[in-house]
Structures are given as structure tokens and as C-alpha cells.
Chain A
Amino acid sequence: MHEVFEHTADLGLRIRAADLPTLFAEAAAALFAAIVEDLNTVRPEQRMEVELPADEREYLLFDWLNELLYRYETQHLLCNRFEVKLDEAGLHGIAWGEPLDRDRHALSHEVKAITYHALKIEPTADGWLAEIIVDI
């Protein structure tokens, strides 16, 4: 699950999940939920893969979201379904979505960038929590 939290000029994303791969997948959904008003209007018709080398947990989450944002901006591909595997080599992600169609997709924010500010991933009693602030 994910929600937004207060940040004066920008937008904070707070994500909770039972395990780390789900946390990463949910974080991607949170990112696209900030971009498009209703994620349910996106059809998971196209598939793309993302491979990232291992790094610190926080940096890997940052890189994953950043890669999706870059592909959205250059290929105009909106995604709403994600699968993530994490192992020693790094992250293997799959995202499903479709090209932006302004007639069907009401856009919400232009996310300029993912920021490192107050970026965190931490264990909780029932899983994991991540917080990330995106620049609007």
C-alpha cells in the first residue's frame, strides 16, 4: 500500500509492504499514482524489463524509480503493474503499461525527479516501510 505525505513544495511517497520486492513494486505504483490521476485507467498491455546492478538498498530503490521515470519521459509509457526480484546481482524488474493517451489518461503531476532527501527504507513490525520525496 502507498500514500502521499506532506512536504512543503513537493510530494512525499510512503510505502508499506510485507517484503522488499513488494515494497519496490508498490513504490513504482506510488510513483505512477503521482503522475496519473487514476491508475486504473492504465491498461497493462506492454511489458518492459529493467535490470539494475546491486547497490545500497535505498540507492537501488532510487535507481528503480528513476529508471521508470526516465522511460516514462522519453517513451511516454505509463505503467501500473510491477514485479520485482532482488538478488545479489541487483534488481530485475518488469513493468506493464501502455503509451500515454491524453483522451483517456488524466494527468496529475509532472515528477521532475526522485530526490535523495530523507530517503529511507526500514523494517517495521509487519514488514517494510519506505519514504521518498519526489520533486514536482
Chain B
Amino acid sequence: MAKETFYGPLEQIEECCWRIPKSYKEGMRVDGLIFADERLMAQLRKDQAPEQVANVAFLPGIQRASLAMPDIHWGYGFCIGGVCATDPDEGGVICPGGIGYDINCGVRLCHSNLYYQDVKPRLRQLVEELFRHVPTGTGKSGHYSFKGKEMTHLLAEGSRYLLQRGLATQGDIDFTEAHGRLDGADPDCVSERARQRGEEQCGTLGSGNHFLEVQIVDHIFDEQAAAVMGLEKDMVCVMIHSGSRGLGYQVCDDALHSLRKAPEKYGIALPDRQLACAPVHSPEGEHYIAAMRAAANFAWCNRQLLMQQAREVFEKVFGRKWQELKMNLVYDVCHNIAKFEQHVVDGKQKRVWVHRKGATRAYPPGHPEIPSLYSKIGQPVMIPGDMGRASWVLVGQPGSMEKSFGTTCHGAGRAMSRTQAVREAGSRRIDKELEARGVIARAQSRKGLAEEQPDAYKNVDEVVEVVDRAGLSKKVARMRPIGVIKG
């Protein structure tokens, strides 16, 4: 399939919001809405992501609109950066493609009481130790293994299981979205294949765009919110981006396989077979939901164990316990997930299935589901950027529930395809270039580093600017990477 420009209608209805009217294609049940400014929109038109926003509007039971965040790019079925809510009482569907292969891929941030000047002299050693200790890349088994009953507990209980095993603290649980556990997870719905793929992968980073970074707080935009989160200028933090590894990919794969015939069976007309879905209230839908929740629990355990290993490395390098180094979790968010949430639609309270495929929940201040510490400032959101420029910490904004089902962006979004990035890199040494910018990067694969080079991504600052202006979430702090490990 060639990369084609989108020539369909895009009407600017607000400074940072564009509409694809439902009249664009027969079968669309609602409009498509894309949050972007003019500059980003010019880039977004260059591929089929807007077409995918229109395709998602075909899904039965969809509420309000098929939404897309400013970091959207061409995915499979759903665009990456897509949000859609369905009402099960109106025939609403659950769509595995609206969650993605990497179920509960997400980001967590932990801070410390170290500052840039403390870490700078030992940065190389720190990065080398992290790279040695934290399993990265493909085909790698981790330091932990969860088989049989242990895996069953982990899938059912999520981070709480690790708390019982002494691998997490109460604080880690309190500051994880959904407390690191989705209710209704059924380990029996996770196939033997998925378990096998996951049993040695909990606590491994993976490859692609996943990373573990040592970052410093580069600039603070909201002093009050930053203070509540314990973030100060030049403070050293660790950001982790990973998901449910092979287990989650297999759960998605199993679901897509079992749904091959479901659209026909339930009379659902779809413009793309990757959008295969089933009604929430159907045997196929219920089975997938129970398995997806279990995979989400696995992903939280994975990020927890990755953080735990990072803490161990800091202990070794700085000769103090991680508790003394105050390496506490600020927050953990997921950006590939569907959750059954309470929202107001057309003036009515409803429970809807909010699919976030490369989009992050960003609840406003006062929402009952955010930790009491953050109740006044809104839910913290971590937005990973690229490994040369920046990542961001934001908070949810009042009004986001109405605008985007309490959702914001999830990253920078790619500007170049992987093949193009490798071509552009040629014989350049990306690691040396990063070093000249003050970033020590280690990766298993040189090609991987070329594919993930900073220029392969849009500037995350521009994406964040749009969600801030559109009122989806507010800037708190810009984070600058100084150490990166990747697969």
C-alpha cells in the first residue's frame, strides 16, 4: 500500500479542532474530529490517518465522534492517536484494533532526590549499568519468571500481586492508573500461547519505540502542579515506556483470529478488516474484554519490575538505598487500552467503553479516580518524546471530559517511516550525535537507533502545545533526556 495524501473534507471548527463530516462516507455514524493546529494538519494530511479516523466512525454504538489527538499517524485499522467511545446498550462494540497489539503500553515516571550535577560525573557508568541490568531488545528473557499459578495471580491481580511478593510498595500501587489492576480480568481467557510468550518477559523492555530514560527536569511551566508532584528544576527522573510484551500481542492476535467471522455474524459492515470487532455483549466481546484486562495487569507488572530494576541500578551506582534516593513513582499512565468509564453524553450519564489507541487518559482536577494528592491539580500525564529533545509532564484540564472523554495525546508521533529513517541515517553514528547533545544512548541494534533517531519524530513540543491550547491537558514540566537505553 502506497502512502497516499488524504483528500477528504477537513473543516476547521476551532483553532485546534478539525471535522470530517459524517457525510464524507456512507456508513459513518458520527463525525470525525481531529485536534491539531494548521501546521500539524498540513503534515497529517500526508497519509491515510484521517481516512482511518473516518473508518472508526463506522463502529456500532460509537458516541459523540471518532476522535484523534494531534500526534495521530497511520496505524492499522485505527489510527495511532485515535479515541472512540461505544455504548454497549446501543449495540456498542469492543474493537481490539482500537487498543492495539501492545495492550496497556504506557509510561511511568519516578523522581529522585538527585540533581543533574550529582549524576553527570557518573552518567556513563549509570547508563552502562542500566543497559547491562535491564533486559532490552528482542528474544531476551528477563530476571523474573512467572509460571502456572504465579502467572494466574499476576494476571488477575496486577501490581497488587507484586506488592505481596515484595516487588512493589503501596505508594507504587497508589500512583498507578487504576491502581495497577483492572477488575474483571480473567486469566482463564488468556491462551496458553500468550502465557508462554509472557512467562519470561515480565520486567523486560522490548524494542521499537520502548525505552528507559534518565531525564532531568528541564523547565517548569506550572510551579504549583510541579511542586505537588515533587518535581524541581534539574531533578533527575527515570521515565519508562513499555507495555505487555509478547503476552499482550498474543492476546490481541488471538482476539483478531476469533473475530475473523464476527462482523458477518453480527451484521457489522466495516471498511477495513483490521477493525474486526464484536458487540460488548457477545461471547466473543466478553472473552476479549476479560483477556485484555488480564494483559493490562501484566503490563503494569512489567513497568513495575522495570522500575524496580532501575532502582537497583541506582542503588549500586550511588551506594544508597532507593528509598533514601527517594525514587518514588510520580504516576503511571496507559496509552493503549479500553476502559468502561462514566461520561456525560447528550446530557445523560452513561457508562461507555472508551478505546484509547495511542492516547492517554487525562482526567481533570477533582475526578474521583485520581489519587487524592493530585485531586487539586488534575491527573498527571507523561508524554514521551524522542531521545534527543524532550518528553513532557502534563495534567488533565477541566473541560477535557466533554471535549475528548478525558483524553490527551500520547507522544510525538513519527515524522519518518522506519525505512526512511534508516536511509537518512546512512553511515551516521546516531549514538555519537546524541552524545554531542549531552545524551548517552545504548541500544541493542544500531538499525534500531537509526529508526528511533530524534529526526524520525515530530517535535513533541508542538504536539504538546496543541493539547495545551485545545484545553485537553496543561503543561507542567519539560523533561530532557540525558541517558537512554533501548532494545
Contacts and interface: CB of A to CB of B under 8 A. Distances in A.
Contact of B448 (A11, A59, A72, A108): A108
5 contacts: A8-B3, A107-B139, A110-B208, A118-B1, A118-B76
Interface string A88-109: 0000000000001000001111
Given A9-B417, A10-B418, A113-B249, 9 more contacts: A6-B417, A6-B420, A37-B445, A37-B447, A73-B197, A106-B445, A108-B447, A112-B102, A136-B207
A47 interface: no
B74 interface: yes
Given A8-B47, A8-B73, A72 B101 contact: no
A135 B487 CA distance: 15
A4 B419 contact: yes
B447 to A, nearest CB: 5
**Which 4 pairs, one residue from A and one from B, show the smallest C-beta to C-beta distance?**
A117-B76, A110-B138, A110-B207, A117-B274
A57 interface: no
A51 B74 CA distance: 34
Contacts of A136: 207-208, 418
A76 B139 contact: yes
Contacts of A117: 75-77, 272-274
A59 B259 CA distance: 13
A4 B423 CA distance: 12
B465 to A, nearest CB: 22
Interface string B121-138: 000000000000000011
A131 B138 CA distance: 24
A65 to B, nearest CB: 11
A107 B102 CA distance: 20
Interface string B247-279: 001101100100010000000000011101000
A113 B138 contact: no
Which of B139, B193, B252, B276 counts the most chain A CB atoms within 10 A?
Answer: B139
A107 B74 CA distance: 26
A133 interface: yes
A7 interface: yes
Interface of A: 4-12, 35, 37, 59, 66, 70, 72-74, 76, 100, 106-119, 131, 133, 135-136
A108 B445 contact: yes
A109 B448 contact: yes
A66 B80 CA distance: 22
B478 to A, nearest CB: 24
Contacts, number: 106
Nearest to A114: B253
A135 B207 CA distance: 11
Interface in B89-147: 101-102, 137-139
A74 B274 contact: no
Contact of A8 (B74, B138, B193): B74
B445 A135 contact: no
Contacts of A135: 76, 101, 249
B74 A35 contact: no
A110 B1 contact: no
Interface string B443-474: 01101100000000000000000000000000
Contacts of B197: 70, 73-74
A63 B260 CA distance: 12
B208 A116 contact: no
B196 to A, nearest CB: 5
A132 to B, nearest CB: 11
Which of A9, A12, A109, A112 counts the most chain B CB atoms within 10 A?
Answer: A112
Given A4-B419, A133-B76, A59 B260 contact: yes
Which of B47, B77, B207, B252 counts the most chain A CB atoms within 10 A?
Answer: B207
A112 B276 CA distance: 19
B161 to A, nearest CB: 23
A9 B48 CA distance: 13
A4 B419 CA distance: 8
Contacts of B445: 37, 106-109
A112 B252 CA distance: 11
Contacts of B74: 7-9
Contacts of B139: 72-73, 76, 100, 107, 110
A83 to B, nearest CB: 24
